[in-house]
Amino acid sequence: MRTPLIEMRNIHKQFGGVVALDDVSVTLHRGEVVGLLGHNGAGKSTLIKILSGAYEADGGEILVDGAPVTIRSPRDARANGIETIYQTLALADNLDAVANVFLGREIVTSLGRLNDAAMEHATSDVLAKLKVVDLKSVRAPVSSLSGGQRQSIAIARAIHFQAQILIMDEPCAALGPQETAMVANVIQELKRQGLGIFLISHDLHDVFALADRLTVMKGGRVVGDCHTADVTQDDVLAMIITGRPPA
């Protein structure tokens, strides 16, 4: 068996008395899209927030390429090649696309000054690769952009910094059909390039179109893990609702 790109083992997380994750183990391989499914409150967001360093796990371990790593902060996650696109678009609306793409990892000159020209150049490059249409200016505050364009900025971050692992929490929740198609194209392209992608979505149709494997959660536990090709949407729906693998 190949070593998984990411392995999360026996992850446990509690918020006060609420057990959000109970002994959860998941894996992700290179060039693979894994769909994380489950009702609201199943623990999907909590799981990926632990992987992206937004929360710290109470127990369990995380392995990247087979080696155990410690992820205590978003900085740690990024250092391990993990990029996250959050459900609530985590952008500073008052800043422009350039500042958002490079937030926390700015290019600076040897004197420590922000090198805005270099960052603008790189941002334009990546956004052109993503074929972001109608972007008036990479220097306009991102609050003036459409949902899809804002999503592209989050994706541009991942691409520019050559992420190995991409986490997308409901990437299409706020998008129209065209923009959803754009995101789907990007996911397929990144997958071809060998990234591993965790995809969380409520839309079973989308997930079936994009994911190679499905991990179903319920009540903070993993209740099923199967290849997309081996199941029907009805099987998966039943799993989500009942929490039992298909007969």
Q: Site residues (CB under 8 A) for another protein? A: 52-54, 73-75, 78, 84, 86, 88, 90-95, 99, 103-106, 108, 112-114, 117-118, 120-121
Closest CB to ligand ADP among residues 119, 214: 214
Distance of CA 40 to the CA centre of its chain: 17
What is the rounded distance in angstroms from the CA atom of residue 156 to the CA atom of residue 153?
5
Selection from ligand ADP, another protein, Mg ion, none that 94 binds (CB < 5 to 8 A by kind) is another protein
Closest CB to ligand ADP among residues 58, 65: 58
Structure tokens of 172?
């299409």
Task: Give min distance, CB of 152 to another protein, in A.
Answer: 16
The footprint of ligand ADP on residues 8-47 (CB under 6 A) is: 15, 18, 20, 38, 40-46
Closest CB to Mg ion among residues 122, 210: 210
- Determine how many CB atoms are found less than 10 A away from the CB of residue 82: 27
Closest CB to another protein among residues 63, 114: 114
Distance of CA 17 to the CA centre of its chain: 27
Q: Specify which residues 196 forms β-bridges with.
A: 165
Task: Give min distance, CB of 221 to Mg ion, in A.
Answer: 16
Per DSSP, the three-state class of 71 is coil
Selection from ligand ADP, another protein, Mg ion, none that 160 binds (CB < 5 to 8 A by kind) is none
130: exposed, middle or buried (Cβ count in 10 Å: 0-12, 13-18, 19+)? buried
CA angle, corner 10, sides to 8 and 14, nearest 5? 105
Selection from Mg ion, ligand ADP, another protein, none that 140 binds (CB < 5 to 8 A by kind) is none
Judge whether 196 and 167 are in contact, CB under 8 Å.
no
Closest CB to another protein among residues 108, 181: 108
Distance of CA 34 to the CA centre of its chain: 10
Closest CB to ligand ADP among residues 31, 41: 41
The footprint of Mg ion on residues 29-68 (CB under 5 A) is: 45
CA angle, corner 149, sides to 129 and 100, nearest 5? 85
Q: Which chain residues interact with Mg ion by CB under 5 A?
A: 45
Q: Which chain residues interact with ligand ADP by CB under 6 A?
A: 15, 18, 20, 38, 40-46
